[in-house]
Copies of this chain bind each other. A is one copy, B any other.
Amino acid sequence: MSQYRVLIDAYDEKGLVNKVSGVFYSYDLNIMSNSEFVDQENNKFFMRSVVDGDVNLEELKKSLTDILPSNTGIEVIEPKKKNIIIMATKEMHALGDILIRHEAGELEANILAVVSNYNDLESLVQKFDIPFITISHEGLDRSTHENKIIECINGFKDVNYIVLAKYMRILTPRFVETYEDKIINIHHSFLPAFIGANPYKQAYDRGVKIIGATAHFVNNNLDEGPIIAQEVIHVDHAYGWRDMQRKGKDVEKIVLSRALKLALEDRIFVYANKTVIF
């Protein structure tokens, strides 16, 4: 008996649910959970099923491919640990949260390595017997520095996601394109408010009463990629921007870990610079 996650991404038309569920039925599969969404404006159909039964992954995929329209995205995934690389700079909270979850067995992930432009976090990461790789940017132009990082990442096989756990440098288009929809970032504001540098300072200057954090896939427009998860906390006049920064860390780490978990469980569809999350 196997359990599979089936992801369908199609242009909407009548009968899609019937066709997919018909294939499941023909293989005598149990539907453990099933989520659908029709975006009527864009005529798009999304479906995520978890099925359980005695069937071969390739066969199941072939049967779905045979019956569904030709331009349909079809994924049949066997749940297993995905490979991730974490990038960080100096702050400990977001990275630490992932490390503890990993240690507790909460994440369907192997952490292949932590890559940083500084070595501040080395001693923390090494406690957990995870490779820590420092690639300093000092004395290097952005492109040379990134080349070294890409080279480093390419040294690992089957990297599923790159997690930016407060990696404080802007990535070049080349980097982003290389790992399209594979890079998850945490931005320390409630996007699209306060794009760019020091969002807590911006928030403080604006006098907001709520601050937040946003986990998103990275694309080539700074902080404008598809949003995966957001969360907020209330602040008041007594918060200086460093207080906001301090309190904001709790939201940042929770939101990033939540987004990572959604990705690892294959719950995210990306389209039109947005996400559908089941």
Contacts and interface: CB of A to CB of B under 8 A. Distances in A.
Interface of A: 14-15, 17-18, 21-22, 24-25, 28-41, 91-93, 96-97, 99-101, 103-104, 106, 124, 127-128, 190-194, 206-210, 212, 226-232, 234, 236-238, 240, 246, 250, 254, 257-258, 272-277
A100 B93 contact: yes
Contacts of A212: 210
Contacts of A274: 207, 237
B38 A32 contact: yes
A206 B193 contact: no
Contact of A31 (B38, B101, B206, B272): B38
A258 B227 CA distance: 27
A180 to B, nearest CB: 17
Given A14-B25, A33-B38, A227 B254 contact: no
Central interface residue in A18, A22, A212, A229, by most chain B CB within 10 Å: A18
Give the top 3 A-B pairs by smallest Cβ distance, nearest first.
A207-B274, A96-B100, A18-B21
A275 to B, nearest CB: 7
Central interface residue in A124, A190, A212, A254, by most chain B CB within 10 Å: A190
A226 B207 contact: yes
Nearest to A251: B254
A273 B206 CA distance: 8
Given A103-B124, A191-B208, A230-B209, A25 B32 contact: no
Given A93-B100, A97-B100, A232-B232, A190 B207 contact: no
Contact of A227 (B30, B34, B209): B209
B103 A96 contact: yes
A240 B32 CA distance: 13
B32 A17 contact: no
A25 B236 CA distance: 28
A259 to B, nearest CB: 10
A258 to B, nearest CB: 8
A109 to B, nearest CB: 16
Given A25-B14, A30-B14, A277 B100 contact: no
Given A21-B17, A274-B207, A34 B31 contact: no
A215 to B, nearest CB: 9
Contacts of A91: 104
Contact of A193 (B192, B234, B258, B272): B192
A36 B21 CA distance: 13
